[in-house]
Structure 1
Amino acid sequence: MKKISKLEAVLWNIAFPGFSQLITGHYIKGILFVTLEFIMNVNARFNTAIMYSFLGEIEKAESVLNYQWLLFYPCVYMFSMWDGYRTAMPDNEKYSYLPFVFSAYCVTVGLMVSPKVTLYKVHPGPVFLPMMFLIPGLLIGFLLKWILQSRNPT
């Protein structure tokens, strides 16, 4: 099994869920994550929505999406990142899952409310609003991790 850094594991899984698992020799998990990502992406028509969003055609992005499929995406995506991170982290590291879990929660909420949210007359839509919701998820997760580690130093 190849050893990679925590950052490398997360970055490979940001590029495509399952890649760090494949690199580290966890082939079954890697193939599972790649397959799940592909199935969700195709059924949600997510790549088309991403393309329309980056072209500024938010209404088209919303119209092509299948939200029922896309709602699975944040949890699988963040779990894949955490799994890659966990493989690379030291055994004594605690609470590493919190930023990933709260990011998955917040991105999912951002996706659910995206059709209704407009910020300063700009409608970010189903791609950009969930990206923005990632930030509070990370902040909450890192804050809770810090609080728990400071209360239970080991």
Structure 2
Amino acid sequence: MRQSRQYKSPFAAMLWSCVLPGFGPFYNKDYIVGAVLIGLEFIVNLNSNLNISLIDSFMGDINSTHHVIDYSQTFYGH
């Protein structure tokens, strides 16, 4: 007997992925892809100092935000 899968909204998966890459696949019960994406997100954020830059921008220190980021560890680095 064939089991029917519960309907999963693509819009909800997109919103979860906007919160943090990897949450969309977790929502769709694709745990391996979700874990890999979450792991890559943390590695890129930690190595590029993106989190520190975000904190500086929330505090209003815009000049410090650009000096803290290591652009070679982001997708925009050359």
TM-score by length of 1: 0.44
- The residue aligned with 1:30 is 34
* Structure with the larger RCO, 1 or 2 (CA within 8 Å, 6+ apart): 1
1:51 to 35, 40, 55: 55
Comparing both structures, which one devotes a greater share of its residues to helix? 1
Q: Provide structure 2 residue ranges, at least 5 long, that are not aligned to the other structure.
A: none
Sequence identity (%):
31
Query: Could you say what the CA RMSD is over the residues aligned between the two structures, in angstroms?
Result: 2.0
2:20 to 13, 16, 23: 16
TM-score by length of 2: 0.81
- Alpha-carbon distance in 2 for matches of 1:59, 1:13: 29
- Alpha-carbon distance in 2 for matches of 1:4, 1:17: 17
Give the drift of 1:54.
Answer: 2.1
DSSP-derived class of the 1:60 partner: helix
